[in-house]
């Protein structure tokens, strides 16, 4: 996807056919829009990013973009100022990165949650304790629990029943 943007307003100056296919708008519709109509950040944040690109402070961003059908897609935007029709515009190449972002978020979730129960794991509690262990938060209390007899349940009724017991215990806690 390629879009050319007017730096000060964010108005879409030109769009390739892939932009129309991706966003679901006709080229004519896109040319009557601003990037603010697509980007899910505030207008101020998007304007700030355009200035960073124009001043060559940064050239890559990841944004949530809204398609015509209302779907939100995460996109990587690589942008650079160029001269086009005797003016400076932002040449932006856009890649759909939704699946990568979803996979990354899943990895983060798995690293802080128990796979079976969804409860926070030891890593989460250790990091939270370090973060919260300040004088302003004193006194800190950590309450721990144990499901008694789980080995006996697993040995007698099987691991599926033990798993059900653990899930129920987490749900009740």
Contacts of 65 (CB under 8 A, 6+ apart): 23, 38, 39, 40, 72, 73, 74, 75, 94
pLDDT recorded at residue 128: 92
E-strand spans in the chain? 2-5, 12-15, 60-66, 72-84, 87-96
Q: Using one digit for the tens of pLDDT, what is the confidence trace for 152-169? A: 999 999 999 999 999 999
DSSP string across 4-44:
EE-TTT-BEEEE-HHHHHHH---HHHHHT-BGGGTB-S-HH
CA distance 62 to 78: 9
Residue spans of the chain under pLDDT 70:
none
pLDDT recorded at residue 141: 84
Q: Can you give the pTM of this predicted structure?
A: 0.70
pLDDT recorded at residue 144: 78
The CA-atom distances, in angstroms, between 30 and each of 41, 70, 156 are: 18, 15, 65
pLDDT recorded at residue 145: 80
């Amino acid at each position: 996807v390629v879009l050319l943007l007017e730096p000060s307003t964010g108005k879409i100056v030109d769009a390739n056919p892939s932009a129309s296919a991706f966003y679901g708008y006709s080229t004519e519709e896109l040319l009557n829009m601003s990037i603010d109509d697509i980007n899910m950040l505030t207008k101020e944040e998007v304007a700030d990013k355009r200035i960073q690109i124009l001043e060559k402070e940064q050239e890559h961003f990841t944004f949530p973009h809204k398609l015509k059908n209302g779907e939100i897609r995460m996109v990587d935007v690589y942008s650079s100022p160029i001269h086009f029709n005797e003016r400076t515009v932002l040449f932006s190449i856009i890649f759909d990165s939704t699946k990568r972002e979803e996979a990354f978020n899943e990895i983060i979730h798995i690293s802080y949650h128990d796979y079976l129960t969804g409860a926070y794991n030891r890593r989460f509690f250790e990091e939270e304790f370090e973060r919260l262990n300040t004088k302003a938060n004193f006194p800190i209390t950590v309450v721990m629990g144990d499901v008694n007899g789980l080995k006996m349940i697993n040995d007698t009724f099987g691991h599926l029943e033990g798993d059900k017991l653990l899930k129920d215990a987490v749900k009740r806690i």
